Copies of this chain bind each other. A is one copy, B any other.
Amino acid sequence: MKLSTKGRYGVKAMFEVALRYGEEPVSIKTISERQNISEYYLEQLFAPLRKAGLINSIRGAQGGYVLSKPPGEITVADILNVLEGPIEISECIDDEVTCARTGYCATRLLWIKIRDSVNQVIESITLQDMIDDYNEIKNNLKKGE
């Protein structure tokens, strides 16, 4: 079970934008260089993020992207929902038809538990939390720990 690059790159990219919240817009080129991701590919990820209202774009020279809300109000779940769709460990959770055949679906409850567990984590972590973690790691490294 793995996230696709869409989700992984998307979160990394949003993190870069979040780091500069309140400052100048961040261009795809900048993110591409900092995170070592293809510009073309990043473009494709930002389109749906913008349409979903998580970021605003500023076109033209010196343009780029800015968060539409403070980093504390954007969760990892918000990002992953846009880029990967909602977490569904198995379509069996929604689709009653296939399960109905065998009477009671034995595994349905299991998939729900896994899904809820993932959702709880990603809904509780905001971009601000990631920034805080990041700063803490940096500080600890400075102190030589």
Partner of A1 from the list B1, B120, B138 (CB cut-off 8 Å) is B1
Cross-chain contact A121 with B114 (CB below 8 angstroms):
yes
Chain A contacts with B in 32-82, Cβ cutoff 8 A: 34-36, 76, 80
Cross-chain contact A104 with B137 (CB below 8 angstroms):
yes
Cross-chain contact B11 with A89 (CB below 8 angstroms):
no
The CA of A138 and the CA of B84, in the complex, are separated in Å by 35
Per-residue 0/1 for A91-132: is the Cβ within 8 Å of any B Cβ (1 yes, 0 no)? 110000010011010110111011001101110010000100
How often does this chain occur in the complex, in copies? 2
The CA of A125 and the CA of B117, in the complex, are separated in Å by 13
Q: Give me 13 other A-B pairs in contact (C-beta within 8 A), A114-B121, A117-B121 excluded.
A: A1-B2, A1-B88, A1-B89, A3-B90, A11-B107, A11-B110, A15-B106, A15-B107, A36-B98, A104-B134, A104-B137, A106-B133, A117-B120
26 contacts between A and B (CB under 8 A): A1-B2, A1-B3, A1-B80, A1-B87, A2-B88, A2-B89, A2-B90, A3-B89, A3-B90, A11-B107, A12-B106, A12-B107, A15-B106, A35-B102, A104-B134, A107-B130, A109-B130, A109-B133, A110-B125, A110-B130, A113-B125, A114-B118, A117-B117, A117-B118, A117-B120, A117-B121
